[in-house]
Amino acid sequence: MSEVAVPGPEPDWEPALHNQPGKRSPVQQYASSPTTAAHREIAVLKPAIGDIARRLRLTLERASFTQGGPAAMAYFEIREIRFGIYRTLRRPDTVIGLHEQEEASLLTAMDVLLETLGIDWRAVAGVATGPRGVMVEPVLDEDARPAFPDTPS
């Protein structure tokens, strides 16, 4: 997987766990982790989870998945879209999930996340397609926008 640089956090962004009046950070991290079953995988990103956490000012939590083993994870919200992010020792990719009750489409959610991360669709290694969420590499047009024949919503 090629390296994609994620910029550091904006200077005025507070840590995502803090909920302060006048908060300037676009990210609000959940205080405690919901279960992973409450999220569906939608994408795999090329950047390392540590770089993503640093940019978004997230605190990575430690957990253990039944099938994936130990994991670093965080659950957060950007513009009222609820995301989960994790990486396991057995699966070194950075996996992005959406809360199972999230109504935003995959494309909308990914656009919001990528914009907040300061990167574009070239940082996406795979996107979930079909009913079982099989990951496929997105095909990008000349504007670095995804063009999948069966883009999930």
Quote the tokens at residue 3: 């390296």
DSSP string of 11-69?
Answer: TTPPPTT---TT---SEEE-SSPPPGGGEEEEEEESS-HHHHHHHHT--PEEEEETTTE
Residue 9: inside a domain, yes or no?
no
Within a domain: 147: no
Residue 19 resides in a domain: no
CATH number at residue 123: 3.30.160
Q: Is the pLDDT of residue 1 over 50?
A: no
pTM here is: 0.84
Q: Is residue 98 one of the residues assigned to a domain?
A: yes
Task: Report pLDDT digits (tens) over 127-147.
Answer: 887 666 677 888 888 878 887
pLDDT tens column, 21-63: 666 889 999 865 555 557 888 999 999 999 999 999 999 988 7
Provide the domain count of the chain: 1
Expressed as residue numbers, the domain containing 109 is: 27-136
- Structural domain includes residue 46: yes
